[in-house]
Structure 1
Amino acid sequence: MRAFRTLLALAAVLTTTGLVASPARAADGDVAWTVRTASNSFGADRSSFSYAVNPGGKVDDTMVVANHGKTALDLAVYAADGYTTKTGQLDLLTTDKKSKAIGVWLRAGSERVTIQPGKSVDVPFTVAVPANATPGDYVGGVVTSLTQPDQEQGINVERRLGIRVKLRVGGDLTPQLAIENLKVSYAGSGNPFAKGDATVTYTIHNTGNALESAKQAVSLSGPFGWLRATSGEVPAAPELMPGESWTVTVPVHGVAPALRLSATATLTPLITDASGSTTPLDTIAATTHGWAVPWTLLLFVVVLIAVVIAIVVLTRRGRAQRKAREDARVEKAVEQAIRMKSASTS
């Protein structure tokens, strides 16, 4: 069996930021097609599909697929759950991985569509939310897929083109972000009194049931809040799905060697409603501590301690030797006195 390599052409419609209303497009030689949302009661020129549905409810909509190539296209149509990649973009599970939400709840009217050159077809689909669905936000996509052999590499290449589907299941919405695994490290210079660089790392964990991004800020200070330093502007965290985590690494330059550092990470969670309006939530913060000792100063301290210990040891040894000599002299003098007394009495 030939191996598969998947190319996912999600274009702007599946990115979590910078959405545009233009259709997503896949093109390669004589093969080219686009997908877009249909104009209907949900609106026109939508950049993605977005719904609010109560448990047990359903919604019907349509995706339009157009063939801009020179040959007929036979495309598979399916849905898949989404996830946030390490680069902060939205991606969809491949067919070998099991979806649990939108990838299961969304069903297209047909699993395959054939489109003639220069033509387009409507692909209706239904999103049916189970009655026991947990309230909150879900993200996935409805996908068109073309699998073609790559003779040179001996593999099958699956090209996917899809549109994001965002679903908010009715019920209590509990947005919540947590700062976890907060750490700070320091790297000084050869000059023990010069400023160095610190690195702050932490994990943003979406522990709620809503899609959330966040504004970020990082600050450092020495004992009693002295020698304060800030990281400058930190890029906003990507929109995280419920349960997802995002690791953040923030460099902070010009940090004084304050011996003991306090590092504080601050988040302002952002939540987007169905209309696309973004609302900031209450700020959260976490603080940790770390050492900020230049290695040259540390070496000097170690050498100084070694010298002090050597002086103490040598001093004690000298005292012991002097005491031993004094004890020997006294003992000898006593012996001589005893011998002289014995000689005089005899």
Structure 2
Amino acid sequence: MPRFFSLAVLLATALAVATSTASATSLVSDPVQRPNPPDAVGIRLVDVPADLIKDPRARQYIVDSLKPGVTVKRRIEVSNKSADALHVAVYPGAADIRRGSFVGAAGNTGNELTTWIKPGQLILDVPAHSRARDTVTIAIPKDAAPGERYGVVWAQVSGRDLGSGITLVSRTGIRLYLSVGGNNPPRARFTVDDMTAERDGKGRAVVHAKVHNTGGRALDLTGALKMSQVSGSISAGPYPIDSGKSLAPGQSTSVNVIVTDQVTDGPWDVSLTLKSGLLEVTHEARITFPKGPGMAAAVLSHPDRQSPLNWRIISASMALVLMLIATLAIIRPYRRSARDDDS
């Protein structure tokens, strides 16, 4: 059965994603219950577009090239290989291609594509050793910008709380590669070219960021700035940007942030997150405020280098999962021994 990749998520402490082309990771159950096998839940495509019948990718993934205003339906099949009935959640999630890998975002993170996708049923109750089908509808808006978008249709099973607020989740999914054609303007994009630190006449710290609209849509910007002291553990913010910033394609403007707290000159590592509609971009820079009124030299900013998945959290969470499994392996023989002694 073709699958995309699988995920073990340690909720309550972090969201961790483990990608592969194999089956879903184990759903760790309560020690007194029969655990599900590692590949208890599966998902596959039922339909393949006639014009892509010879494309092996189209047999495993949802691969389509569509025009704005078009609606298509794709049938999927969710399988349960375990000996127990499963309560399976079906939902779309965001994805991206980074460093040569197709990466699904953590949790139920969405993007523009996920707003166009609607499963027929959000929950499937699948009996033991059985299968259930669902229909996924993809509706492309009439004003959709051209370009390729990525996502995943997930099938997810949640385990019971194992104590201490820990719940494990197992999911597996089908990749989506959706290319939109047509003559609509390009999608919204923008860059943050540089940032400048200032002390105004009142002694307040102010950060100016130069934003350039590089896409084909008008922008209405909102957002906030966070600060972290380079030489210590002090952090500040978030501080909102000034309101009412709109940019037509090709235009540039300065986005301004007044730091309402009294802060030292720095240096500071700042992170500016800007949004326009569903588009969200984070840029970072290292700045130092002047000692007195005036402006420092502009410094180049760079995109946030963190991927949708925070790999430090992933590593820590997976380590906790392994520790939890090892602990259960120790507890079970002890419980059996205790029951034998009681008898």
Same fold at TM > 0.5: no
- The structure whose RCO (Cα within 8 Å, separation 6+) is larger is 2
Comparing both structures, which one devotes a greater share of its residues to strand? Answer: 1
Highest Rg: 1 or 2? 1
